[in-house]
Structure 1
Amino acid sequence: MEKGRLEAFSDGVLAIIITIMVLELKVPHGDGWEVLAQQWPVFLSYVLSFVYVGIYWNNHHHFLHASEKVSGSVLWANLHLLFWLSLMPVTTGWMGENHFAQLPVAVYGVVLLMCAVAWIPLQYTLIEANGGKTSFLAQAVGGDWKGKVAVAMYLSGILLAFVAPWVSCLLYATVAAIWFIPDRRIESRIKQ
């Protein structure tokens, strides 16, 4: 199967996710700083989620760029990832509207965790479709320490949300910062 349709569909879904998130931002009623200050939790949750969607889009792009073909398994794994990403607007809005309350922060963490978990089968099905364990893509992925650290931090954040939601948010932001730094594994392999 050619990968072009998968790329186009995924790009479209991710663009819609970002559009839905930005449409949830409401125009402040008033012209003072105090009106903007009331909106900071909503805006902050939007920024965090925008960064996350951007990270997934970027990594998705690199993986597909390094792949020559896709399989039916890749299509289903991709849909699995997109399902969890499509929940980002709802959990983002809920968390921001409720000023980072315990349950919304925990549920937001569950969605982040499930996105990370859904990335794993996508990664492995793409590797299998492109030559298996000895493939260029498998070598570029390596041990995937960022993915393992992310899962551990999401689990910690989910549990801590019921005690200290701000600590959870800091953990989620730390994971985003770790992934925000460009991952050069695939790019460096392509240059070789």
Structure 2
Amino acid sequence: MKKLKTRLDAFSDAVIAIILTIMVLDLTPVLKDSAADYLLLSKEIGVYIISFAFVANMWYQHATLFNEIDDMSYRIMLYDFVFLIPLSLTPLATNMMAENTTKITVTAYGLLVGITGACFRLLARGVIHFQYTDTSKMRQVYHKVFGQHNLIYVLLNLVLIVLAYFFPQIILWFYLPYPLVYLLLSSRDRQQMYDVAQLTTNQRQQYLRLPRDQMKQFRQLVETQKAANGTEAVRSISAKPISWVRWLDQPIGAGAGKSGGHLDAEAIRELRRAQWDEFERLAKHQKTAQQQAADEREAQQDAQKAAARQAKKERQRQLEAQKDAAEQAAKQRDRDQEAQEDAAKLAAKNIERQAKAKREAAKQEIKIQERQQKAKRKADRKDAKALIRQKKLAQKAKRYDSDNQDDQSPK
């Protein structure tokens, strides 16, 4: 089966080479000098570069995936054929998109990219299941390492497909960085898978329990290792990862040293396990430091809470004192108000008594005046009667005198 695996590698390489050849042959040559024809050729070349980057990335992913196994199963062979079917349709989709860039052709190209990526992930899962047993935990490691990035690829492709239906001319060029990002992230994920494969079963179980930030720290620790006489000294768990330029210049392969030397499989295995022990030691030290910092923060928080409680109690005492003072002031105001009300009532009663006395005095004065007027009227009546009697007496006397004079006159 090892020979058949080699033949399958050669067959896959041949199919991919033919795919690239067909794509370049589909380019329309310029037979007459025309600006429009040269612009059309430039567009076709741009679309060809997009598809070339995608197919070349698929070749790299396929080559590195099959490089991890020495044998294969019928499942892997079947999955490889299933993967090559949509990949072989790339020249057709590329030619359609270059000749007639519409929402249908760009969307169809995006669907083909998504189907091809899904078939490759199916093939990768088959290789992982063939290479590792269930007890090795490597299947779980594969899902943990590749799972998030695979989800990112799927979501990114779905977004591009949806947008391609509305903006095909623009989304067309967004398919160019897609394989480059895929290449960078998948290469790191595959290197991380290889590094974890060198660990013991117990160490893999511990690795599976790591959160993603600590997984990144372990990867950074491995990337920043320094080769020295077949062994490598670890700098720090928080060291910076290698730069983009250094990543481009480093040898391809899990067994390559960062300084250009190469280690055998056993040395790499021992190195990775030693690095994991160092990572655990540093992680424990970091955890201890974090725990101490957390304890200090907790103590500070407790002190702050105690101070806050004391301040709260002091505020409560002050509020209670202010409340008592306010109550006392309110009571004093009530007493003052009651005293003022009592004084006002007493003053009102005094005023009322004075008014009543004045009214009684006025009544008495009126009665006295009435009696005086009555006595005056009575006296006036008596005087009038006396005057009338005097007048009557005077008249009588006058008549009497006249009668006497008549009697005394001679007859």
Q: Structure 1 length as normaliser, TM-score?
A: 0.88
Aligned equivalents of 1:30, 1:43: Cα separation in 2: 18
Q: CA deviation at 1:169?
A: 2.2
Tell me which moved more, 157-166 or 14-23: 157-166
Larger RCO: Structure 1 or Structure 2 (Cα < 8 Å, ≥ 6 residues apart)?
Answer: 1
Range with greater deviation from structure 2 (52-61 or 128-137): 128-137
Question: Equivalents in 2 of 1:88, 1:169: separation in Å?
Answer: 14
Determine the structure 2 residue equivalent to 1:159.
162
- Per-residue deviation, 1:144: 4.3
Question: Residues 150 and 166 from structure 1, CA distance in 2 versus in 1: closer, same or farther, beyond 3 angstroms?
Answer: farther
Contact 2:106–2:164 (CA under 8 A) maintained in structure 1: yes
Which amino acid is the alignment partner of residue 92 of structure 1? T
Contact 1:67 1:130 in 2 (8 A): yes
Evaluate the alpha carbon distance shift between residue 15 and residue 137 of structure 1 in structure 2; reply closer, same or farther with a 3 A threshold.
Answer: farther
Which amino acid in the other structure matches residue 157 of structure 1? L
> What is the CA–CA distance in structure 2 between the aligned matches of 1:94 and 1:76, rounded to whole Å?
29
| Cα 1:18–1:137 shift into 2, 3 Å | farther
- Cα–Cα, structure 1 residues 136 and 15, in superposed 2: closer, same or farther, change >3 Å? farther
Q: SS of 1:39's equivalent?
A: helix
Out of 182, 191, 196, the residue aligned to residue 179 of structure 1 is 182
Segment drifting more, 169-178 vs 104-113:
169-178
Which of 24, 49, 63 does residue 47 from structure 1 map onto?
Answer: 49
Query: In 2 relative to 1, CA 137–167 (structure 1 residues): closer, same or farther, beyond 3 Å?
Result: farther
* Structure 1 position 137, deviation (Å): 8.5
Q: Unmatched 5+ residue regions in structure 2? A: 195-253, 256-267, 269-411
Structure 2 residue 18 is the aligned partner of structure 1 residue 16: yes
Pairing of 1:69-80 with structure 2 (within 5 A):
69-80=71-82
Q: What is the CA-CA distance between 1:45 and the residue it aligns to?
A: 1.1
CA distance in 1, matches of 2:71, 2:138: 13
The farther-off stretch of 162-171 and 104-113 is 162-171
* Alpha-carbon distance in 2 for matches of 1:28, 1:136: 53
CA distance in 1, matches of 2:34, 2:137: 57
SS at match of 2:60: helix
2:99 aligns with: 97
Deviations along 1:84-139, whole A, 9 cap, x unmatched? 100100000000011x2110000000100000110121011111111245377975
1:126 aligns with 2:127: yes
Q: Which amino acid aligns with 1:39?
A: L
Superposed displacement of residue 166, structure 1: 3.4
TM-score if structure 2 supplies the norm length? 0.43
Contact 2:93 2:109 in 1 (8 A): yes
1-structure distance, mates of 2:117, 2:140: 18
- Inter-partner Cα distance in structure 1 for 2:170 and 2:36: 26
Q: Choose 156-165 or 106-115, whichever is displaced more.
A: 156-165
Q: Measure, in 2, the Cα distance between the counterparts of 1:137 and 1:187.
A: 15
**1:35 is aligned to 2:67:** no
Check if 1:143 corresponds to 2:146. yes
| 1:5 alignment partner in structure 2 | 7
**Are residues 132 and 25 of structure 1, via their aligned partners in 2, closer, same or farther at CA, if it must alter by over 3 Å?**
farther
Comparing 36-45 with 117-126, which one deviates more in the overlay?
Answer: 36-45
How far apart, CA to CA, are the structure 2 residues paired with 1:22 and 1:135?
44
Tell me the secondary structure at the aligned position of residue 143 of structure 1.
helix
Structure 2: distance between partners of 1:135 and 1:64: 20
Question: What's 1:111 paired with?
Answer: 112
Partner SS for 1:150: helix
Q: 1:164 to 1:125 in 2, by over 3 A?
A: same
Q: How many aligned positions are there? A: 191
Change over 3 Å in CA distance of 1:75–1:135 after alignment to 2? farther
| Cα distance in 2, alignment partners of residues 144 and 28 from structure 1 | 46
Name the CA distance, whole Å, in 2 between partners of 1:5 and 1:32: 47
Percent same amino acid at aligned positions?
25
Q: Which runs of 5+ in 1 are unaligned?
A: none
Q: Please give the alpha-carbon distance, in whole angstroms, between the structure 2 residues aligned to 1:143 and 1:180.
A: 13
SS of alignment partner, residue 162 of structure 1: helix
